[in-house]
């Protein structure tokens, strides 16, 4: 008779099933030449949620959608209740014209892990939840909405205010789904119930690829600050208003577009600053812009550098004749749990995969958990480090590497639990 430990050493994921699932969900929201667009709670995102619910059900998990529209599949332990919960989570929403693997990899790999654990009759000491967190990608500009809702981190009223471009609020989208946004706080759970949170993700940078390393063990996640700046001018006829009489909002805003990179580069090498969204109103070829609105995003591991650049932004805004700055959110960097980093690094070693420790410059749902729950992220390389674009690509073997390390980490945590760790 084989013991649970021997059995655990032999269970293996199914590479073909993992890849087929990634391809399958990758068809949802795909348009030739434009990549995948599944902004949170769009028709495509809802279809992806339905796809996942079906797959989780077919895998024998209990499935629900919580009050924040997170999809949760639960593989229950037979242990006596109350039990804790191990989460494997990521997201199925994408940026506009995004790729196939950012987020989807972590959800599909979680599904595959749950399937093989169940198929092999492995008894875990906690419930295992596979979670597709809603609106990780900031379709409404704040991002990580589902995971923050679960950890009680949503700002009051935030889901009722749309800060996205040409998009209604998260609350309006919930209503469109027949759900009550006023109930969103029912999604809050006590962080103490969570044993750990694990996420498998593509690196979204080219460090692993350029070094020829197969696994990144993430040590911390970058802080993200986002602001909306509005500069007002005066709309007028573009043909009849002489240049010296114009009050053009875009021209007033433009110096900041080149000042921001200078300020950021002067602070530290790892800090980044982006203006990725600019709108002019009314937005017509023959009208002088009366208003220019843009989103400034700052990222760094170092909060004091971000506060300093925020100060420069505020000064710039004050110096304008008619401008305002509004905070979308400010999330400081987090360190991930050292014991979990060790466990993941060991799992990679057992699987015979080279690994390094590294920080993440991208945001993740794990960030919402990390302050309260031991949290870990596993990275695999992606082609030329490209992500948030249709060219985002990985090899099937890289998905398999990551999923194997994820599974091994879950089994190692179960082993530690049995041994009283």
Residue closest to 220 by CA, chosen among 357, 52, 64, 418? 357
Residue 70: other Cβ atoms inside 10 A: 24
Which does residue 112 touch among Mn ion, ligand GLV, none (CB within 5 to 8 A, set by kind)?
none
Give the separation between CA 83 and CA 30, rounded to whole angstroms: 40
Which does residue 363 touch among ligand GLV, Mn ion, none (CB within 5 to 8 A, set by kind)?
ligand GLV
Residue closest to 297 by CA, chosen among 243, 247, 227, 249? 227
Q: Does 73 bind Mn ion (CB under 5 A)?
A: no
With a CB cutoff of 8 Å and minimum separation 6, the contacts of 43 are none
Burial class (CB in 10 A: 0-12, 13-18, 19+), 121: exposed
Residue 46: other Cβ atoms inside 10 A: 17
Nearer to Mn ion, 102 or 297 (CB): 102
Within its chain, how far is the Cα of 337 from the centroid?
19
Contact 378, 409 (CB under 8 A): yes
Q: Smallest gap, in angstroms, from Cβ of residue 363 to ligand GLV?
A: 4
Give the separation between CA 77 and CA 79, rounded to whole angstroms: 5
- Interaction site with ligand GLV (CB under 6 A): 137, 362-363
Give the separation between CA 341 and CA 215, rounded to whole angstroms: 12
Range in contact with Mn ion (rule: CB under 5 A) among 103-111, 119-127, 214-222, 371-379? 103-111
Q: Smallest gap, in angstroms, from Cβ of residue 361 to ligand GLV?
A: 8
Of 102, 158, 203, 297, the one binding Mn ion by CB under 5 A:
102
Give the separation between CA 178 and CA 2, rounded to whole angstroms: 49
Classify 227 as helix, strand or coil: strand
Sign of CA dihedral 301, 305, 309, 311: positive
Nearer to Mn ion, 132 or 300 (CB): 132
Which does residue 290 touch among ligand GLV, Mn ion, none (CB within 5 to 8 A, set by kind)?
none
Please give the C-alpha separations between residue 204 and each of 92, 132, 285, 287, 340, in angstroms, as whole numbers: 16, 19, 36, 39, 22
Nearer to ligand GLV, 92 or 250 (CB): 92
Range in contact with Mn ion (rule: CB under 5 A) among 97-105, 113-121, 288-296, 320-328? 97-105
Nearer to Mn ion, 102 or 203 (CB): 102
Q: Smallest gap, in angstroms, from Cβ of residue 369 to ligand GLV?
A: 16
- HSE, side-chain direction, 13 A CA sphere, residue 68: 27
The length of the chain, given as a count of residues? 421
Nearer to Mn ion, 107 or 309 (CB): 107
Nearer to ligand GLV, 340 or 362 (CB): 362
Nearer to Mn ion, 98 or 273 (CB): 98
Classify 395 as helix, strand or coil: coil
Which does residue 98 touch among ligand GLV, Mn ion, none (CB within 5 to 8 A, set by kind)?
none
Q: Smallest gap, in angstroms, from Cβ of residue 362 to Mn ion?
A: 6
Q: Smallest gap, in angstroms, from Cβ of residue 29 to Mn ion?
A: 14
Q: Smallest gap, in angstroms, from Cβ of residue 387 to ligand GLV?
A: 8
Nearer to Mn ion, 66 or 136 (CB): 136
Which does residue 205 touch among Mn ion, ligand GLV, none (CB within 5 to 8 A, set by kind)?
none
Which does residue 99 touch among ligand GLV, Mn ion, none (CB within 5 to 8 A, set by kind)?
none
Of 29, 103, 181, 390, the one binding Mn ion by CB under 5 A:
103
Range in contact with Mn ion (rule: CB under 5 A) among 101-109, 179-187, 226-234, 375-383? 101-109
Find residue 63's DSSP bridge partners: 73
Contact 39, 78 (CB under 8 A): no
The DSSP 8-state label assigned to residue 318 in this structure reads: H
| Element housing 341 (H / E) | helix 338-350
Nearer to ligand GLV, 127 or 135 (CB): 135
Q: Smallest gap, in angstroms, from Cβ of residue 137 to ligand GLV?
A: 6
Q: Smallest gap, in angstroms, from Cβ of residue 362 to ligand GLV?
A: 4
Range in contact with Mn ion (rule: CB under 5 A) among 102-110, 272-280, 285-293, 401-409? 102-110
The residue ranges that bind Mn ion (CB under 5 A) are 102-103
């Amino acid at each position: 008779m084989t013991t649970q430990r021997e059995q655990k050493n032999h269970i293996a994921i199914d590479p073909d099933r993992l890849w087929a699932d990634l391809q399958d969900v990758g068809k949802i929201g795909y348009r030739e030449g434009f990549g995948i667009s599944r902004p949170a709670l769009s028709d495509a995102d809802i279809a992806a949620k339905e796809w996942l619910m079906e797959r989780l059900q077919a895998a024998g998990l209990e499935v629900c959608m919580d009050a924040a529209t997170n999809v949760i599949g639960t593989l229950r332990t037979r242990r006596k209740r109350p039990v804790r919960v191990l989460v494997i989570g990521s997201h199925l929403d994408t940026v506009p014209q995004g790729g196939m693997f950012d987020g989807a990899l972590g959800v599909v790999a979680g599904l595959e892990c749950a399937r093989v654990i169940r198929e092999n009759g492995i008894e875990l000491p906690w419930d295992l939840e596979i979670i597709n967190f809603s609106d990780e990608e900031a379709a409404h500009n704040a991002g990580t909405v589902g995971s923050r809702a679960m950890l009680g981190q949503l700002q009051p009223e935030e889901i009722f205010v749309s800060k996205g471009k040409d998009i209604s609020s998260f609350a309006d989208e919930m209503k469109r789904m027949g759900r009550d946004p006023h109930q969103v706080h029912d999604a809050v759970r006590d962080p103490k119930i969570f044993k750990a949170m694990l996420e498998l993700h593509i690196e979204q940078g080219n460090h692993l690829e350029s070094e020829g390393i197969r696994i990144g063990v993430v040590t911390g996640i970058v802080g993200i600050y986002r602001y909306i700046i509005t500069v007002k001018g005066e709309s007028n006829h573009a043909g009849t208003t002489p240049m010296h009489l114009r009050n053009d909002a875009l021209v007033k805003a433009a110096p900041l577009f080149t000042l921001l990179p200078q300020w950021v580069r002067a602070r530290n090498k790892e800090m980044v600053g982006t203006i990725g969204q600019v709108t002019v109103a009314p937005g017509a070829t023959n009208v002088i812009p009366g208003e220019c609105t843009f989103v400034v995003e700052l990222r760094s591991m170092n909060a004091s550098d971000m506060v300093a650049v925020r100060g420069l932004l505020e000064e710039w805004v004050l110096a304008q004749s008619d401008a305002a700055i509004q905070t979308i959110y400010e999330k400081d960097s987090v360190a991930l749990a050292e014991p979990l980093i060790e466990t993941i690094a060991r799992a990679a070693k057992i699987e015979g995969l080279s690994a390094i420790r590294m920080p993440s410059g991208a945001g993740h749902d794990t960030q919402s958990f990390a302050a309260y729950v031991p949290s870990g992220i596993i990275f695999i390389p992606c082609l030329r480090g490209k992500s948030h674009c249709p060219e985002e690509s990985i090899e099937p073997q890289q998905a398999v590497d990551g999923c194997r390390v994820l599974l091994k980490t879950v089994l190692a945590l179960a082993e530690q639990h049995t041994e009283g760790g």
